[in-house]
Structure formats: C-alpha cells, structure tokens
Amino acid sequence: MELLLKQFRNQVLENVHFGDICIVDQNEKVIYSYGDVNTETIYRSCSKPLQLLPLIINGGIEKYQLNEKEIAIMCSSHHSEPMHIEILENLLKKANINEDELYCPKTFPGYLRTSALKEIKPYQKRKLHMNCSGKHIGLILSSQILNYDYKDYYKVDHPVQKDIIKIIKEFSSFDGEVKIGIDGCGVPVYTVDLKGCAIAFMKLAKPEVLNDNTLEESVIKIVDSINNNPLLLRGTNTLDEIINSDRNLIGKVGAQGLYTVGLKDEGLGIAYKMYDGNENNQAFVLANILKKINYKNQDTINNLLKLCDENVYNYRKDIVGKREVTF
C-alpha cells in the first residue's frame, strides 16, 4: 500500500489516499506496479462479468432468448434508473420467477443519490432497485440452465457458486485459496490478489489467450453487450459509462475503491485499489494511469477528467484546492 493521491485546500495538505496499482500484459507479466500487487483483494462487483459466464457458456442466450441489454444488466451495478428497471422486469418474466425470490435486499433507487436525473418521481423500496439485482437474476438463470435447485443460489455451498469459483481461479490465474466472504447484496464474494484481478480483465479484453473457443465466444458476447450498452453497467455520468463507451476498453467498478479495466488492442489488464473505499477520486486516478501508459484515446482521458479533474470544488463550484497523484 502506497500513497496514491494528495488533496490540498488553499495549498494546505488536507487529505491523503493510499492504494495499490497493477498492470499486466497478455503474458500475465506485471509491466507496472505501484504498491503491493500480491495483496489480498476482494473482487466485489468487479467479478460480475465472470459470474455470468456459467449462463452464457451453457447456452443461456439461446434458451432464454437473451438480448445484449439483458446480458449487460446482469453484469451491472446499476443505479436503478427507469431504463434499468424495465430490462430487469423483462428478465424476471424470462426466468419465470417473482421479484421476491431474489435474495438481494429492497432499496430505494440508486439514482436518487446522484444528479443524473433531475426529475424525481414517487418511488418505493424494491429488490429490483438494489444495484446487484441483475446479478441475482443471472445466478438464478445459471442455476436453472444447469438443472440446479435455484432456491439456495446465494449460499456458499450451492453448485453454481462452486462453478463460479472455478472460473474466478482460471481467469485470475490464482493458485491459492479463494477466501469467500459475503457481499453487500448477500451472495458470496471472492478474494484473490490484485494481480489476479488485472489478469482477469486482460483475459476479458483479450479472450484469445484463453485457448478455448467456447469460453472465448462467451467472453466476446458479454464484452460486446457491455460495450454496446455502457449506460446499463452503472448509470448516467458514471465511470463505468465512460470506460465502456470506449470500445477498446472493458471496465467494472467494485465496492470499496476497487476498479478493473482491460485494454483490447494493447492486451493489458489494470487493477487498482484505493483503501479509503471512496469512489470520488477514482476517475482522476484512472485518467492518470492511462496517461502513464500513453493510452491512445485522449477523448476517454478527457471524459474521465470531466468526471473528476485536478481541481477541488466547493458546493458553489468555486475552485478551492487541488488533487495531485504521487505515482
């Protein structure tokens, strides 16, 4: 763990943010590191594209007539904007299940915490509003297609979770013990190392390195679905929207400061973790990582800096300080 970012107000150091960065190439070699790339890292929501693979590999697209929007929403940490809820409701019908069968908790719509939508309509708590609801539907569909009893899909010893662990280990090239915790939505969450997270997203970006045609085709379908529907992975004016709007990238936010991104043409995987868990500075850090590797798409970097630039603003939008990376 190293100092990643300093934040100043009126030239006085006010805050510091610690973390680790790992970048790997398509041979799984670490080509850049800052901090400890072997540190234990809980995948959180960054693993969602991997968790969907059992469904796609086993013919879920054909069986359930899934479209790209439905595939993307099952990989999402959505803000429950109306466009998200409409797709989720259709997925419930395809799965032939009731919303109450989802194990995730009821929440208010996530977009109410953002400025993405200016008009706030009457709302209520729903399980579909929970940002992981798409993943839960995906786990049920995976269980159904594999002829597992889906009622206990959320339990650590459920066969669909064991299938996911195998995928996590394979994609992360992780030979150690995958420690299992419980995520915020109630299902298992997996621990590898930061290097493993970077390797997994390199493989999502460069699936030909998998040397498995079925797996490669399944990854391509998932990644294409996300790139074709970047708003669905998180929501309006978010880091995930910016990254996945760039068709050379595949990225996913995780909770507590983890972000993972794969670069297709370059065959690279990036994972970085900010240990204060705050997402506010993630776009600024990622923009500077991309600058460091001379990433070719300056528009993507500029869009990240529109989300969070070097300036610190007050509620009046006055500039009151600066951010400064230390890597």
Quote the number of domains for the chain. 1
Which CATH number belongs to the domain containing residue 235 in this structure?
3.40.710
Could you tell me how many helices (H) and strands (E) the chain has, helices first?
12, 11
**What is the band of 116 on the pLDDT scale with cuts at 50, 70, 90?**
very low
| Element of type H or E holding 133 | helix 133-145
Cα dist from 53 to 48, 50, 59, 158, whole Å:
9, 5, 10, 16
pLDDT of residue 115: 47
Q: Residue 139's domain spans which residues?
A: 2-325
- Tens digits of per-residue pLDDT, 14-55? 999 999 999 999 999 999 999 999 999 999 999 999 999 999
> For residue 92, is pLDDT > 70?
yes
Helix (H, G, I), strand (E, B) or coil at 95: helix
Lowest-pLDDT choice from 100-114, 166-180, 233-247:
100-114
Where residue 76 falls (left for φ over 0; alpha for ψ -120 to 50; beta otherwise) is beta
**To the nearest whole percent, how much of the chain has pLDDT over 70?**
96
- Tell me the mean pLDDT in the region 57-65: 98
Report the mean per-residue pLDDT for the chain. 95
Query: Which tens digit of pLDDT belongs to each residue from 273-285?
Result: 999 998 899 999 9
Q: Is the dihedral of CA 62, 68, 69, 72 positive or negative?
A: positive
Task: Give the pLDDT score at 281.
Answer: 96
Interior/surface letters 43-79, b for 16+ CB within 10 angstroms, e for the rest: bbbbbbbbbbbbbbbbebbeebebebbbbbbbbbbbb
Which pLDDT band holds residue 119 (cuts at 50, 70, 90)? low
Mind listing the pLDDT tens digit for each residue in 217-273? 999 999 999 999 999 999 999 999 999 999 999 999 999 999 999 999 999 999 999
Amino acid making up residue 6: K
Does 120 score more than 90 pLDDT?
no
Q: Are 231 and 237 in contact (CB under 8 A)?
A: no
